[in-house]
Amino acid sequence: MTNTHETRHHRLSDAAGVRWRLTQAAIVLMLCWPAMAAADATGRADDERFQRDRKSILAMAGNYHVTFSFRETVSFVDGYRLKEPYETDGYETVRIIRDDGDVISLQHILVVKGVWDDAMPVKHWRQDWRYEPETVFEYLGHQTWRTREVDETERRGKWAQSVFEVDDSPRYAAVAEWTHNNGVSTWTPPPTWRPLPRREATKRNDYDVLVSVNRHALTPQGWVHEQDSTKLILGGRPQQLAREIGVNGYRVSEKFDIQIADTYWNETQAFWAEVREIWNQLHAKPGTLAVQRESSSGKLHNRITALANEVREGKLERESAALQAREIIHASITRNGQVVGAHTKAESPH
C-alpha cells in the first residue's frame, strides 16, 4: 500500500510540475510577444540576411565620380543602323533621405559645371527600396503606370526598387532578392518596362519602351548599375528594334565640391518632401496614372525644379511653392482617362 501511495504521490507531483512549467512557458511567451512582434514589424531586426541586404543598399550612399556608357549591340529591323555609343561622366552625391528599417530612400544629386564654369547642383533620380512590398507600380507604355499587387510568394525575402524622375514622378519598379555569393552583393530583377531615358526621349521617337534587366552590384570602388535593355516598338504587333547595354559606374571620389550638393539639399529638401507626398497620394488611388511631361507652359520637371530654386533663393515660401507644385502636377495627370486637376483645385495641399 505504501508503494502505491508513493507512486500516486509522485505522479501527482510530476503532473503539477508539468503544469507549472507549461504555465511558465506561457507567461514567458506572453511577455516576449510584443517584442517579437515589434522585431518582425520593423523588418526582422535579428535576421542576418535582412541586415546584410540593408547594408548593401545603404552602401550605395556616398560621393562619386560616375561614368555613363550606353551602346546598342544588335539591330532587329531591316535597315536600322545602330546609333553611336553614348558616353559621359560627372560627379554625384547619393544621400540617405529615409531609413525606416524596411524602407530606404536614396536621393541622387549631380554637381555639374554651369554656364560660367561655376559648379552647380542638379537634382537627379531617386531610388526607393521596400522590403517584401505588397504593391509596386509598373509601366504600361505611353507615359502610363498602374499599381500592381505583389503576392506573398513573389515578395518573400525580396526588395522592391522604385525609381523616380527628377521631378519625383514614377519611372520604373521591380522586385528581386539580394544575393551575396562569391564575395559580391548583387540585386537582379526580371525584365521591366520603363519609359525612354531623357538622353533619347528628346532626340528620337522610333521606339516606345525600354524592356530592361536592371542590375546593381557593390564593387571595391563603390558600385555599378548595369542595364541590359531591348528597345521595343509598340502597336498591334510589338517589334523589337534593337538591344542596348548600359553600364553606370559609381567610383568613390572627393574630387569635387561636395558641399554644393549638400547645401542645395538642405535648402530644398522640405519642398521636395512636399512634392513626394503629392505623388504618394496619387499612387495610393486605384487605376491607371498617365503623366503629360510637356505642355504649353513648359516641361513638367523644369517647372517643378524652378519652384525649388525659388524656395532656395527666398523668392517663394515653401507652402506656396508646394501648392503651386500640386496644381502643376495635378494638371499634368490623367487618371483612368480623366484629368486629375479638374477636380482638385479646391482641396488642401496636405
**64 and 252 Cβ atoms separated by less than 8 Å:** yes
Q: How far is CA 187 from CA 9, 214, 247, 292, 337, in A?
A: 64, 8, 15, 31, 35
Question: Is 139 found in the same domain as 99?
Answer: yes
Cα 205–chain centre separation: 27
Of the listed ranges 16-20, 175-179, 211-215, the least confidently predicted one is: 16-20
Question: Is 99 found in the same domain as 243?
Answer: yes
pLDDT exceeds cutoff 90 at 303: yes
Residue 350 lies in a domain: no
CB-count burial class (<10 Å; 0-12, 13-18, 19+) for 56 = buried
Closest listed residue to residue 228, CA positions, set 338, 71, 78? 71
Question: Is 204 found in the same domain as 264?
Answer: no
Question: Is 53 found in the same domain as 124?
Answer: yes
- Name the pTM for this structure: 0.83
Cα 128–chain centre separation: 3
pLDDT exceeds cutoff 90 at 6: no
Number of domains in the chain: 3
Question: Is 276 found in the same domain as 250?
Answer: no
pLDDT higher for 28 or 247? 247
> Distance between CA atoms of 142 and 207, rounded to whole angstroms?
11
Q: Which of 33-47, 285-299, 303-317 has the highest mean pLDDT?
A: 303-317
Question: Is 67 found in the same domain as 214?
Answer: yes
- Note the pLDDT of residue 336: 77
336: containing domain: 260-343
Residue 348 lies in a domain: no
Residue 223 lies in a domain: yes
- Note the pLDDT of residue 335: 85
The x, y and z cell numbers of residue 270, run together, are 522640405
Domain at 100, CATH number: 2.40.128
Closest listed residue to residue 56, CA positions, set 196, 172, 224? 224
Question: Is 108 found in the same domain as 234?
Answer: yes
Virtual CA dihedral for 112, 113, 115, 121, nearest 10 degrees?
Answer: 40
Percentage, residues of the chain above pLDDT 90: 76
> Distance between CA atoms of 51 and 329, rounded to whole angstroms?
37
| Helix/strand/coil percentages in the chain, nearest 5 | 35, 40, 25
Question: Is 52 found in the same domain as 13?
Answer: no
Q: How far apart, in Å, do the first and last CA atoms of the chain sit?
A: 83
* pLDDT range class, residue 275, cuts 50, 70, 90: very high
Question: Is 192 found in the same domain as 238?
Answer: yes
Question: Is 268 found in the same domain as 212?
Answer: no
The x, y and z cell numbers of residue 195, run together, are 519609359
The x, y and z cell numbers of residue 291, run together, are 503623366
- Note the pLDDT of residue 133: 97
Question: Is 226 found in the same domain as 114?
Answer: yes
> Distance between CA atoms of 244 and 229, rounded to whole angstroms?
5
Question: Is 190 found in the same domain as 171?
Answer: yes
Residue type, 168: D
